Each structure stands twice: as C-alpha cells, then as structure tokens.
Structure 1
Amino acid sequence: MAEKEPAGELRLVGVTKRFGAVAAVDALDLTVAQGSFFALLGPSGCGKSTTLRIVAGLEQPTAGRVFLAGRDVTDLRPYQRPVNTVFQSYALFPHLDVFDNIAFGLRRRGMADVAGRVARMLAMVRLDGFERRRPAELSGGQQQRVALARALVNEPRVLLLDEPLSALDLKLRRQMQIELKRIQTGVGATFVHVTHDQEEAMTLADTVAVLNAGRVEQLGAPADLYELPATAFVANFLGQANLLAGRVTGRAGGELLVEAYGSRFSVPAGRSRSTAGPVLLGVRPERLHLAPAGADVPAGHQHVTGVVTDSSYVGLGTRHLVRTPWGAELTAFAAYGTGDPAVGAGTGAAVVAHWNPAHAFLVPGDTGPGPAGTHP
C-alpha cells in the first residue's frame, strides 16, 4: 500500500540540521495548514531562521524530509519550489525602479501580462503611483511593501518571511503588522513568519510554534499559548509570567493543591500541565492585583505579601515590582480606569498581591521552593 500523502500545505518530518556538533534544528516535526498565517517564534539561535532556509531550499537538512502541498521537495533547488522569501534586508535591486523590481521574477519566467500583474500587486500593497521610484527614494515601510509585492506577484503557495519588520521603528512596525495580515487575508496564501517578537507573533499569526534549541516547545493559537503555556520557557517567552516554585501535594475535586514557600495554593486541574512533583505556579502580571497590607482580598483569591520596590508608568497603566518574603520579585500590571488600587501603589508600600486561582496555571518545575526556583 502506498504511503498516505502528508497533510497540510507545508510539512516537516524529522528535519535536523547540524553544523558540526551543534544541532541548529533537532528532529523537527511541523505541519502548517493551507492558507494560515504561521509564526515561528523564539530567541536568537533557536533554529527558526535555519528552519525557514531549509523550507526555501537555501539549506540542505542533515536528516528529514520537507513536503510542500504533499510533494517531497527536500532535494529540489530553491527556484523549483513553490515558495518565495522576504528577508529582513528586503534585498531590492537598487538600480531598478519599483515596477521593475516587482516584475523581475515574472520576466525571468516568461509570464504574460506583466504590466497587469504588477499593477494588481501595487494596488494590493497600496503603492499605486510609485512605479518609477527607486528603492532609495522610499521609506522603510514602502521598501518592505515592494519586497512583499515582488514575492507575491509570483503566486507562491507559501511565502516565507524572515524577520521582515525588525528593521522598522515601533510605530511603522505596528502599521506593517496590520498591512501584512490584510495582505495575507487578501491573497489567501500560506505565510510562515519567523520572529523573535512575541507581540508580533501574537498579532499576526493564527498558529504559533515556540522554538527552543531547535525543537518545538509548544504549538497552538496565540491565546492558548498565553493562557495555558506548557513550560516555563513558553510562559516567559510569550509574555511575562510570575512563576512560584512549589510542589503538588494532592487534589481536591477539580483543583490541584500546591505548597510553595510555606503557603498553600490551588490551581484548576484543567489549567495544569503537571499534576505531581515539582511545579511552577504561574500568574500573569495583569492577573496579579495589589491591595494595601492588612486589607481584605476578594473571596476565593489567593495571595502573598510583599513590598513595592518599583512603580513604572507604561502608558496604559502602571507596572509594579513587589519583593516577596522569600526574596523574589513579582510583577503586577494595573490598568488605568479599572479601579484597581494597585494603580496608586508607591515604592516602599506594604501590599498583598492576590489573584483568582481560575487565572493561574501550573507548568513542570525541576527545582524546589526557593529563590533559585522562582521566576518573577
């Protein structure tokens, strides 16, 4: 019986890439759905750009196979694959104007109606009227749109984006995030986006794969990864998390009981990635509320005491650092207009940091309670 055709627009099966003794990509299995906006998120050196280059055919895997639309393309040259890549540097031809940059690939392939195809792309990226400008006459965001148009005009099944927005300033980067999502929705192609920017991944992607040391640490919808991270690495890379090192001591109904720093807490079993032994109890900063020392906390909330060591204005609210009795610092974010008393908490104030256990989560931990096992 013939082997069943691999599912998904893009599929990596056991892909490994070694540079000497170092595995930049380590037995990676990954499936990207057709028409999705997929993000590879991770720190520098995690293997995300190497993975993209393997898909593009710019690197040959040491082991494993690459499938595009069910076809094994592992041994095909880059120009033989139905993919195009947009790089961080844009890689526009400086001596060609916008029209000729976009038309370059069409002309090499001998495609018909070059002018019409380029015009449609210019309209899609909102650069009508810029046809005769050179790259040096364009802003960074406009150059990025030309690079997108040049890649998309060839109608690739998969568009690979290698940190294409990292060279832009914050305001322009956010504008281009909106544009990228709009363009992807308009063309319906599969986008695979490499980034180290957590906000960018969560803004753009339908699905995020968090990479660490060449492996997928967790894969899923951005909201799922943020609300229910699988590991401490994911919890702290996709957003920020207060992680209290403890140990599971039992179960009461649908709650797991956790002891940490001499106090007892509980977490819903459905929000727990580990059910026994050492764990890290996580609370996101926006879920951690502050009240004056000695004040009553809402019924059902769990809490620890501490002292505010820093309060910083961050636009939409105030970020507080709270030093706990065991020496770690927790982060609490209080948004303006919510009536949260933490907004006005000042440095040196004794406070109670409290949270609803329904908003906490558990991930595996390999250290016992103490500062070394606490990740504020």
Structure 2
Amino acid sequence: MNADLVLENVTKRFGAMTAVDDLSVTVPQGSFFALLGASGCGKTTTLRMVAGLEELTDGTIRLGDKDITGLRAYRRPVNTVFQSYALFPHLNIEDNIAFGLRQRGVKDVAKKVAEMLDLVQLPGFAKRKPAQLSGGQQQRIALARALVNEPQVLLLDEPLGALDLKLRRQMQIELKRIQTEVGITFLHVTHDQEEAMWMADTVAVMNNGRIEQLGAPTDIYEYPSSPFVSNFLGQSNLFAAEVSGKDGDDVLLTAHGERFAAPVGRARSTDGRVWLGVRPEKVRLAVPGEEAPASHNQVRGVLTDTCYAGVSTEYLLRTPWGQEMSVFSANAAAGEPLSPGTEVVAHWYPPHSFVLDRPAGSGDDEVAQYSADPLGIAP
C-alpha cells in the first residue's frame, strides 16, 4: 500500500505573516527526509501541521490515499520526537514507553517494550527513571516511546539539538540505523546542515516558507540552485561574473578582469550576469615559487587569516578587488600552516566550478550576504 506523505499547496499564516507559503512536496514512504533551514523559515510550522498541532490556512495533507488535513492529532498515524524528550519524570522507562500502548488498550505491552529497548540498544533499563539516564539515553527512550506505537510517519523536531557534539554524532548514526531497521518514514526538521547531510536520503532546503531546493544531499551540495543554498548547505565562494562565450562543453566567464571556465552542465545560466561559484575545499594554494596548472581557474591574493581546524586548515585570502575568499586545505602533510601576509595563487579545476543566475540589480556588494562566517567557525 502506498503511504507517501503528500503536502499540496500548504499555506500557514499567522495574521499578516506567512510562515509557510504554498508548499508542495512528497515524502516517499520509508525514506529519511530532512527539512533544513534557519530559524523562522517555516520548517517547524510545516512539521506541526503534519502532526496536527497547527491548522492549515490552505492546502491539503495526505498519507497515501487518505486525506488527514482535518484529523485531530491523536487520530493521525504519526508520532513526534521533540528536542526536549518530554519523558514523564515520575514514571520508569518501561511505563514511559508503554504509556501510549496502555492508553489504547494494547496487549503484550511488556514484550513490545522489551523489543523497543533492544532496538535502541538499552536493554535492562526498564526499571530506571529518566533522571538516571544521560541526555543521549533519554533521547533514545523518547524515540522508543514514539516507535512502539508503530506510526506510519515519525516526526523529528530538532531531536538532537540539546546534545553535545560527540553524542550528537553518535545519535545521528543510531537514528539512521533505526530508521533503516524499522523501515518507516522519518521526517526530520533541523537547522544543522551536517546533520541533514549525514542522515537524510532527501533534503529540502527551506527559505522564507518555501522549498528553495530539494534533492539528494550530494546533488544539492555539488550543484546548488541559488546563492542561498550554496551557502546554507556548506560554504561557497561566489564571484560576480559575466558570461563571455562558450568553448565546447565549457562556459567562459570574466570576473574583475580575470578569465574563468565552468562546465555547461554545472551552469544554471549560460548568458549574461551570473555568479561563479566554487567550494572552499575544491581550491588549492600555490605559494611563491610554485606554478598553478595553466588549465586551472586562478585568483591571486594575500592571506589575511588562518584557522587550524584539525582535519584541515582554513584560510582567508583577499583578492585584488577586495573580496575575501575561503580555502580549506587538508592537513595531510607535515608542516606549519601558511602565515597571514603570504602572497598565494588560489586555483581549482574548472569542472569544480558552478554557475548561478545573478538577476539584474544584484551586484558585487551582495557577495557579503552570501559569505557570512567565511571560516565556518561560528557556533
């Protein structure tokens, strides 16, 4: 039986403010689907509408052939796991997990609870109280309590946001394992780009109540559809450029007096004003005395800042036209990072470039809004 979750022309307004704007998306049955976006983009409101916790202003929500738009929350075949866990502190773990089953008069409660504790790898914890568990263990119990009711869709509202970095990564692995094992649809809301890319089969990047781009994480990362996506899912260097022609399968561009090339297949626009983009980890640095390959795109500059980040060193260089450019260099070889003030040539293989449309009215001064936190070290 088809049980895809389908949102069709879904809109939610709060007075004059539109939180979700005519959103249509299909979440395939059995997939791990992530809604990714900044605070206020509409992702949590979308989740709450699916859960039945918010009424739609307009549109429909279907689960397979069944319209669930008007169903009350407790009648929908969905369950939600929240960031706050929401465990009952006065009940032990067994009673927390079994709460929904007992409300519905389900038999064999002890057996089902034991199965859930095995699934979340916490056997033997049935008689403990939530206060005796770590944050990660409490989150697993919250997950078990939701899954024991066998929902068709599990909704995850920033479920790992309260965990520290190491525990969050462990729980990401666990969530993906559990989703694969139980095979039900997971709809995951997060603002954490790495979390979405790590776990989801499909990512929908939301902005201002709409889906800006939807696809597999690799497709969105390698071929973003807009400047917003290119710098929300990862980071990008974007240069205001003009298309000057074509050469075979390449688009030829000029930017600030320099010539560049990019594949036609990685260009959202092949005419007029564009953004030329490249990811920081695709760029290499040539120091004085080294020659950058003549076939590579090249930008000369001076290093202005260095950040040693363990697996890589992250550099900022200032271009001759005053723009800052990010370069991530893997720490695969011994030696000290380059020092600020070093003159370098940043270069990259042309097929690593991508080209985005640059509408009239957007100029060089707009680069700044697409290049926040260029070293990627903001919390």
- Shorter-chain TM-score bucket reads over 0.9
Q: CA deviation at 1:311?
A: 1.1
Partner residue in 2 for 1:10 = 5
The letter for the 2-side match of 1:247 is E
1:141 correspondence with 2:136 = yes
1:80 correspondence with 2:70 = no
2:27 corresponds to which of 25, 32, 39: 32
Partner residue in 2 for 1:124 = 119
The letter for the 2-side match of 1:165 is L
Partner residue in 2 for 1:269 = 264
Q: CA deviation at 1:344?
A: 3.2
**Range with bigger deviation, 243-252 or 223-232:** 243-252
With over 3 angstroms needed to count, the CA separation of the structure-2 counterparts of 1:294 and 1:244, relative to structure 1, is: farther
2:205 corresponds to which of 210, 214, 223: 210
1:57 correspondence with 2:74 = no
CA contact (8 A) 1:37 1:190 kept: yes
CA contact (8 A) 1:261 1:370 kept: no
The letter for the 1-side match of 2:247 is A
Q: CA deviation at 1:295?
A: 3.2
1:23 correspondence with 2:44 = no
Within-5 A mapping of 1:1-376 = 9-293=4-288, 295-337=290-332, 344-366=337-359, 370-373=364-367, 375-376=370-371
Q: CA deviation at 1:369?
A: 5.5
CA RMSD of aligned residues (A): 1.6
Quote the Cα distance in structure 2 between the aligned partners of 1:373 and 1:226: 19
The letter for the 2-side match of 1:273 is R
Quote the Cα distance in structure 2 between the aligned partners of 1:44 and 1:164: 15
The letter for the 2-side match of 1:363 is L
Q: Which stretches of structure 1, 4 residues or longer, exceed 6 Å deviation after superposition?
A: none
3-state SS, counterpart of residue 142 of structure 2 = helix
The letter for the 1-side match of 2:207 is N
Quote the Cα distance in structure 1 between the aligned partners of 2:295 and 2:65: 52
Quote the Cα distance in structure 1 between the aligned partners of 2:364 and 2:158: 38
Q: CA deviation at 1:247?
A: 1.6
The letter for the 2-side match of 1:85 is T
3-state SS, counterpart of residue 61 of structure 1 = coil
| Corresponding residue pairs, total | 369
The letter for the 1-side match of 2:337 is G
The letter for the 2-side match of 1:251 is K
Deviations 1:187-214 (A, max 9, x none): 0010000000000000000000000000
The letter for the 2-side match of 1:303 is Q
CA contact (8 A) 1:278 1:365 kept: yes
3-state SS, counterpart of residue 320 of structure 2 = coil
3-state SS, counterpart of residue 344 of structure 1 = coil
CA contact (8 A) 1:245 1:260 kept: yes
Deviations 1:276-327 (A, max 9, x none): 2221111111101111146311241010100001111101021100011111
CA contact (8 A) 1:294 1:352 kept: no
Quote the Cα distance in structure 1 between the aligned partners of 2:362 and 2:255: 9
CA contact (8 A) 1:326 1:370 kept: no
> Tell me, which stretches of 5 or more residues in structure 1 are unaligned?
none
The letter for the 2-side match of 1:365 is R
3-state SS, counterpart of residue 221 of structure 2 = helix
Deviations 1:108-163 (A, max 9, x none): 11111111100000000011111111111111000000000000000000000000
CA contact (8 A) 1:323 1:330 kept: yes
3-state SS, counterpart of residue 351 of structure 1 = strand
With over 3 angstroms needed to count, the CA separation of the structure-2 counterparts of 1:36 and 1:178, relative to structure 1, is: same
TM-score (norm 1): 0.95
Quote the Cα distance in structure 2 between the aligned partners of 1:217 and 1:14: 15
> Tell me, which stretches of 5 or more residues in structure 2 are unaligned?
372-379
CA contact (8 A) 1:255 1:268 kept: yes
CA contact (8 A) 1:54 1:61 kept: yes
Q: CA deviation at 1:256?
A: 1.1
Quote the Cα distance in structure 1 between the aligned partners of 2:3 and 2:267: 30
Quote the Cα distance in structure 2 between the aligned partners of 1:301 and 1:22: 47
Percent sequence identity is 62
**Range with bigger deviation, 287-296 or 52-61:** 287-296
Deviations 1:9-61 (A, max 9, x none): 10100000001111100000000111100000000000000000000000011
Q: CA deviation at 1:219?
A: 0.3
Q: CA deviation at 1:371?
A: 4.4
3-state SS, counterpart of residue 148 of structure 1 = helix
